[in-house]
């Protein structure tokens, strides 16, 4: 990619931003010097490697490259046998640590998708032993540890002890009678030897070797004879110490020199990994995606964001090139985003070719051998080129070099000169570029070029949207229609005199006015249609949501209906069982009476009383049936407004509001719900109303007469308190199942959550039969055997729905 294209698409700025995330100076330099690749294979590998780095950093939490200072010739000097200083060896130790961390981090990830990064990591070589020795033996840039060797430890211990002896002996001069000869009561050093500061007039009173004199001449620094030998010994030990330190540094340096080639390669690999991690981190911060790449000249960007514009302010742009056309002609108002979109296309192509992710929802980007740009004013004072001359110079270069593997980006083609000649030139240049088969994006305000795009294959119009009401650009692109420049409308909004605008409009040719009017009207109609479409979709989604809520409510009502039906069925079964039990008791008493050999008058009276009770029991059961509302299908000719009816579909009663015979429908009010129902869905009460109940007993002589409808009442025994336990021990399976069924129904009616069935252990047949029934009972949520303390296997705990 040529330097001009990198500058105009601002790829160099993107690479600098990505480089800021690198740790090593070498990694930063690699990114800043990166050039787009023209090989599809290389681009795919680079993008895949960036994807692997994103996964390593942000999915597996792998650490970035550990910093180590840049090296110049240290490793080369070590290879040649030179000894490195403490600081240089510490730098090598940091390098070895960085290599080890990078290798272990990448190698520890058990992900088969991480291939290219593992290939890089396998090139790394490190010596953990040397790293440990350097970090253990070197304490700082100037100091070697006492424990670097046994000999060094012994020498330094002897030096410390000898220092203490010398200081102890010299301190006697400070506190003794000789203290009056000293300039200061201190012990100092000259030439690495301990000396005393003696006044010049007493220099002969202290026997020893004179090492120095103060600048004023008032003080002589004398080494007393008594410590001369000790100082000599100290000097000898210090020489030995220095030689041992040099030996240790030399040994470490020799080991560094032995792996100099590997370390040089390691540095290059670490810098490459560092630059790849920087790409990944930049992509993560930019919320970018990995683009698909191709060699067919296809560019398809969904919701692309220019990375140099603030993410909070940028308006995403979608565009497509290569599907039926290879050139896109973008028109529209000034400051509408045409140039930004054009540069974004070139920038995204260059970024993907560098292995960088794209800030978009998704993207498919072609790999080009070259990108040619003519964007902005390139007027050259040195070469005495005008704006138009510079523009044409670039166009000439593009026309000569562009081919089917090129991307061409031209901003305001044919601008800067006479409009008629500029339009003609622009049409000719675009026509030539179409013949070369290259892919391109061109921006323009020329009407003739818009018309050319309408009539020519391989090029498509596109416009940047403009709000005709606010006269503000919307920064959104629509492909298929040209855009109006709206220069006069914008000038009016900015305050240009109306007289000038009127004269300008009059100066426009009739065809130009018509074309601009058609384009503007079409654009306004399309925007209005899209708004209507968006609103329709919103309403559709809203009604679908309401429909879903209605369906949920219908299902809830259906479940409630089934629950009520089940409760009613259970209540009916309870009443029948209760009446049957009472009848059996009465019959048993009567059988007991008639079983006697001799019946007395009292027996007959008692038997007659039992017979009357049995008749009353049958009547009460019949009266309950009569008290329930009875319905029959409705007929339209019988219905009128105000009638009470029963709506079968919602299982509720209502009042008729109006009749529509022609549609065989009726409008019904059920509570607050107004419905339009088919007549076939309606039923009417037999007799017109539900029989009312009273608290008084109806005499037998009033119970029913021929042809009369009587009012009846029911007298029920008090409802027993709900029971939590049923004991069926001693019953057979056939005897126990009805009892269990009635017990479960009673639990549902009483809103119980959990009940117990006591069946005992026995042979297990009764328990198995009850469990078989419970598995199919629709009112049973789950059941289990009792736990310790609950009866264990002799009890079953049932949870009610």
At 702 the pLDDT is: 37
Which strand (E) or helix (H) includes residue 103? helix 86-107
At 509 the pLDDT is: 57
Q: Tell me if the pTM is above 0.75.
A: no
Three-state secondary structure call for residue 642? coil
Residue 303 to residue 361: CA distance in whole angstroms: 6
Cβ-count burial 774-787 (b if 16+ within 10 Å, e if not): beebebbeebeebe
> Residues 579, 617: contact at Cβ < 8 Å?
yes
Strand duo 193-199 + 219-224: pairing: antiparallel
Q: Report long-range pairs for 452-460 (Cβ below 8 Å, ≥24 apart).
A: 452/427, 453/329, 453/482, 454/482, 456/431, 457/325, 458/325, 458/326, 458/327, 458/434, 459/325, 459/326, 459/327, 459/328, 459/329, 459/430, 459/434, 460/324, 460/325, 460/327, 460/328, 460/329
Residue 661 to residue 663: CA distance in whole angstroms: 5
Residue 169 to residue 186: CA distance in whole angstroms: 13
Residue of 589, 409, 382, 403 lying closest to 10 (CA atoms): 409
Strand duo 299-304 + 406-410: pairing: unpaired
Averaged over successive runs of 10 residues, the pLDDT of the chain (801 residues) comes to 85 94 94 93 95 94 92 90 92 94 92 92 92 93 92 92 83 71 75 80 75 80 80 88 93 93 94 96 94 93 91 87 89 80 93 95 94 70 58 88 92 80 89 92 87 88 73 72 65 70 65 56 66 83 85 81 74 75 80 76 75 67 53 83 83 85 86 81 66 38 38 44 80 87 85 87 87 89 84 88 82
Task: Centre a 10 Å sphere on the Cβ of residue 763 and count the other Cβ atoms it contains.
Answer: 8
At 506 the pLDDT is: 67
- Sheet containing strand 754-758, strands side by side: 725-727, 754-758, 795-800, 780-785
> Residues 234, 162: contact at Cβ < 8 Å?
yes
> Residues 92, 133: contact at Cβ < 8 Å?
no
Task: Centre a 10 Å sphere on the Cβ of residue 238 and count the other Cβ atoms it contains.
Answer: 15
- Identify the burial level of 349 via C-beta atoms within 10 angstroms of its C-beta, where 0-12 means exposed, 13-18 middle and 19 or more buried: buried
Token digits of residue 380: 């050259």
DSSP symbol at 600: -
> Residues 348, 365: contact at Cβ < 8 Å?
yes
Residue 323 to residue 298: CA distance in whole angstroms: 7
The residues, ordered by sequence, that sit 6+ positions from 421 with a Cβ below 8 Å of its Cβ are 414
Cα pseudo-dihedral 496, 502, 504, 509, rounded to 10 = 150
Radius of gyration of the chain (CA): 51
Three-state secondary structure call for residue 271? helix
Task: Centre a 10 Å sphere on the Cβ of residue 178 and count the other Cβ atoms it contains.
Answer: 16
> Residues 227, 169: contact at Cβ < 8 Å?
yes
Strand duo 299-304 + 370-374: pairing: unpaired
Report in angstroms the alpha-carbon separations of 28 from 272, 274, 635: 10, 8, 90
């Amino acid at each position: 990619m040529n330097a001009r294209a990198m500058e105009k698409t601002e790829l160099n700025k993107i690479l600098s931003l990505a480089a800021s995330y690198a740790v090593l100076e070498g990694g930063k330099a690699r990114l800043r010097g990166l050039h787009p690749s023209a090989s599809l294979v290389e681009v795919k590998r680079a993008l895949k490697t960036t994807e692997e780095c994103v996964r390593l950093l942000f999915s597996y939490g792998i650490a970035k490259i550990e910093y180590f200072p840049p090296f110049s010739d240290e490793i080369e000097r070590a290879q040649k046998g030179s000894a490195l200083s403490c600081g240089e060896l510490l730098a090598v130790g940091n390098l070895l640590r960085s290599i080890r961390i990078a290798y272990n981090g990448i190698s520890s990830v058990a992900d088969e998708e991480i291939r290219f990064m593992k290939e890089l990591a396998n090139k790394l070589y490190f010596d953990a032993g040397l790293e440990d020795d350097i970090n253990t033996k070197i304490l700082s840039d100037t100091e070697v540890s006492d424990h670097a060797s046994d000999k060094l430890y012994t020498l330094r211990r002897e030096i410390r002890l000898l220092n203490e002896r010398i200081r102890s002996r010299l301190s006697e001069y400070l506190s003794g009678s000789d203290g009056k000869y000293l300039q200061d009561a201190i012990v100092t050093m000259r030439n690495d030897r301990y000396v005393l500061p003696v006044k010049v007039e007493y220099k002969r009173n202290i026997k020893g070797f004179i090492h120095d004199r103060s600048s004023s001449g008032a003080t002589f620094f004398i080494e007393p004879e008594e410590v001369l030998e000790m100082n000599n010994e100290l000097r000898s030990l210090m020489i030995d110490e220095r030689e041992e330190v040099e030996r240790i540094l030399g040994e470490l340096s020799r080991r560094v020199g032995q792996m100099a080639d590997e370390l040089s390669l390691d540095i290059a690999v670490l810098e490459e990994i560092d630059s790849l991690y920087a790409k990944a981190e930049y992509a993560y911060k930019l919320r970018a995606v990995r683009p698909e790449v191709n060699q067919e000249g296809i560019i398809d960007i969904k919701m692309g964001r220019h990375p140099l514009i603030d993410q909070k302010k940028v308006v995403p742009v979608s565009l497509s090139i290569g599907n039926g056309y290879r050139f896109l002609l973008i028109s529209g108002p000034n400051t509408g985003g045409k140039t930004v979109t054009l540069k974004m296309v070139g920038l995204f192509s260059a970024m993907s070719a560098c292995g960088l992710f794209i800030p978009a929802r998704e993207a498919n980007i072609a790999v080009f051998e070259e990108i040619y740009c003519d964007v902005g004013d390139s007027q050259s004072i040195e070469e005495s080129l005008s704006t138009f001359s510079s523009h044409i110079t670039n166009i000439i270069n593009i026309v000569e070099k562009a081919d089917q593997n090129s991307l061409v980006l031209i901003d305001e083609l044919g601008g800067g000169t006479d409009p008629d000649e500029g339009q003609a030139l622009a049409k000719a240049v675009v026509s030539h570029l179409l013949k070369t088969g290259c892919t391109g994006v061109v921006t323009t305000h020329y009407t003739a070029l818009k018309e050319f795009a309408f009539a020519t294959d391989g090029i498509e119009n596109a416009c940047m949207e403009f709000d005709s009401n606010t006269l503000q650009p919307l920064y959104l692109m629509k492909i298929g229609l040209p855009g109006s420049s709206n220069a006069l409308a914008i000038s009016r909004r900015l305050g240009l005199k109306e007289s000038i605008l009127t004269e300008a409009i009059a100066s426009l040719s009739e065809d130009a006015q018509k074309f601009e009017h058609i384009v503007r009207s079409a654009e306004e109609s399309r925007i209005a249609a899209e708004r209507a479409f968006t609103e329709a979709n919103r309403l559709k989604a809203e009604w679908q949501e309401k429909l879903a809520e209605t369906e949920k409510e219908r299902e809830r009502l259906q479940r409630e209906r089934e629950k009520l039906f089940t409760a009613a069925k259970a209540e009916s079964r309870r009443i029948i069982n209760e009446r049957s039990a009472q009848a059996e008791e009465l019959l048993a008493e009567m059988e007991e009476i008639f079983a006697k050999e001799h019946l007395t008058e009292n027996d007959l009276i008692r038997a007659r009383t039992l017979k009357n009770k049995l008749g009353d029991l049958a009547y009460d059961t019949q009266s309950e049936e009569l008290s329930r509302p009875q319905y029959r299908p409705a007929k339209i000719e019988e219905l009128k407004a105000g009638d009470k009816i029963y709506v079968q579909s919602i299982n509720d009663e209502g009042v008729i509001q109006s009749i529509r015979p022609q549609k065989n429908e009726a409008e019904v009010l059920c509570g607050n719900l107004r419905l339009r129902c088919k007549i076939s869905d309606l039923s009417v009460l037999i007799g017109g109303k539900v029989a009312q109940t009273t608290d008084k007993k109806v005499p037998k002589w009033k119970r029913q007469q021929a042809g009369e409808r009587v009012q009846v009442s029911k007298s029920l025994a008090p409802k027993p308190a709900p029971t939590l336990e049923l004991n069926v021990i001693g019953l057979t399976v056939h005897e126990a199942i009805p009892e269990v069924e009635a017990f479960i129904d009673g639990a549902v009616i009483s809103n119980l959550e959990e009940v117990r069935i006591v069946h005992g252990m026995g042979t297990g047949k009764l328990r198995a039969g009850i469990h078989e029934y419970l598995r199919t009972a629709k009112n049973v949520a789950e059941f289990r055997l009792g736990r310790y303390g609950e009866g264990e296997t002799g009890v079953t705990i049932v949870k009610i729905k």
